[in-house]
A and B are shown apart, each in its own frame.
Chain A
Amino acid sequence: MIYLKNLTKVYPPDVYALRNVNLHIKAGEFVSIVGRSGSGKTTLIRLLIAEEKPTSGKIIIGGWDITKIRPKDIPLLRKQIGVIFQDFKLLPKKTVFENVAFALEVSNTPRKEINEIVHQVLKIVDLEDKVKRFPAQLSAGEKQRVAIARAMANRPKILLADEPTGNLDVLNTREIINLLKKINKFGTTVLLVTHNERVVNYLKKRVITLDEGEIISDLENGRYII
């Protein structure tokens, strides 16, 4: 599903965010990427959604070489990759329903279809009863569930989660991780970037550890080792 070949990203003048990264993530995998701050985790996410271009190397997603992706093709890539962040990135003036629907509105989806999909994804994240609430009326865990619903609205093949539990308490963290596992079970490849040792150890899935832009370990059923 995701191939990274000798991927390097250098920020001027000579800061190496990623150095010669080689990686293969199979379709349907659940992979945690761990590492200290500045180890290159977020850069990796930004490269995968074509927010940045690599300095050298190759990125292939689903057989599509996006290394030199043209700006007009980026929307198509992003429809296939759902992304969630630590700060949720919800629109405060829109309701739960509208926040999720927004992801579909931008892609010329008919209203009837939007209604169906939004209700489906809100059912998956268990927020069906809060469709009319605004983000300010939700707990942090609920906000992240809305963000996940929005990320899933376009039925992406890959879900990138950049520190999704960073703002959550233990209980909500557990809920979100279980939700990501549920989404993974449906067949979506999940890439979880986290600092959270307990989350990684709880998951017992593949763990890739980055340090100073390099992969220092890649273990199936791994544990947090930093």
Chain B
Amino acid sequence: MNFSFFRQIKIAFQGFFRNFWLSLATIIIILLSLFSISLLIGFNIITRQATHLVEERINLGIYFKPEVSLEKIQEAKSFLENLPSVKEVKYISKDEALKEFKKKHQDNPIISKSLEELEENPLSDSLIVKAKKIEDYATIINLFNNSGYADLVWSKKYNENYKGIIQKINHISKNVQLVVLIITLIFIFIAVLIIVNTVRIGIYTYRGEISIMRLVGANSSFIRGPFIWQSILYGVIAWILHLIILFPLLSLIQPYINNFLGTTTFSLSEYFYQHFWSIFGWELVGILILNVFSSSLAMRKYLRI
């Protein structure tokens, strides 16, 4: 049984409580680093979600002349479906389109009255095309125009204005991410400095024990071990506290996220729960590596064995 291990942990806890306020300050700065990392991840997820929602609204509508037969439209549909950049093609008959139109404008008496006055359905059969990527729409339009089906069409509608929205979202998110990233790096840098300083003070506080450990033949891993464990302890405590604070905070800001996205189907805390270990697990691993690195740096500089 490795008794040294438990003794090192014991000494690490003693060191933690001997310099309690310093330990607390160290934990707070690690906590802030973790928060800014989570903020960065959360912001990235929201941006991705927003982009995805806008992308969902982009499509290419192909409206056929009234005399075009359903058979020809199905042929055009097959042609489009065989294009590698096309994700989905949906046929909407003019009757379905009218039904949808009426439903959409049921509260507008002018439009309803105008429709009643028309004897025929003014709408046409159409195909709604969704591309795999936004950039693919131009290629699809080009290929369709050069196909034999172009003459069957009286109108094509590509709601390109969404592309601008996506560009704007990406632009703003990149800038905000950069700011958050800089803040995160500053916090990480401060965390390294604080951990180095905490370990330095720990070494000073423990100088009596250290000199006796050396005298009685403690090996260097036994002397260094408690400082490493202490820094791991800081990381684990900060990580747990960060989770305890983060999730209630997410619940508080969820309405604002819903408002921003214009949907209630997406929950950031749900996303974090579903990807718990792939997000927070790596955060823990990262922060532990950072802490062990910082304490090793301090021991290299200040601990003479």
Contact = CB atoms under 8 A, between A and B. Distances in A.
Contacts of A105: 3, 7
A71 interface: yes
A72 B208 contact: no
A83 B215 contact: yes
Contacts of A79: 216-217
The SS class assigned to the B binding surface is: helix
Given A89-B211, A111-B3, A106 B216 contact: yes
Interface stretch (B39-47, B218-226, B288-296): B218-226
B97 to A, nearest CB: 81
Interface string A95-130: 000000011011111110000000000000000000
Contacts of A110: 1, 3
Interface string A131-172: 000000000000000000011011000000000000000000
A154 B4 contact: no
Contacts, number: 57
Interface residues of A, number: 26
Contacts of B216: 78-79, 102-103, 106-107, 150-151, 153-154
A187 interface: no
A169 to B, nearest CB: 25
Contact of A89 (B215, B218, B220, B222): B215
A91 B3 contact: no
Contacts of B222: 106
Given A71-B220, A72-B220, A106-B222, A78 B7 contact: no
A28 B51 CA distance: 84
Contacts of A102: 209, 212-213, 216
B2 interface: yes
Listed residue (A83, A105, A106) with the most chain B CB atoms within 10 angstroms of its CB: A106
Nearest to B11: A105
Nearest to B211: A89
A153 B217 CA distance: 12
A78 B1 CA distance: 23
9 contacts: A74-B217, A75-B220, A89-B208, A91-B212, A107-B216, A107-B217, A110-B1, A111-B3, A151-B216
Interface of B: 1-4, 7, 208-209, 211-220, 222, 305
By Cβ-Cβ distance, the 3 closest A-B pairs, closest first, are A106-B218, A78-B217, A79-B217
Given A72-B220, A89-B208, 4 more contacts: A71-B220, A91-B212, A103-B212, A107-B218
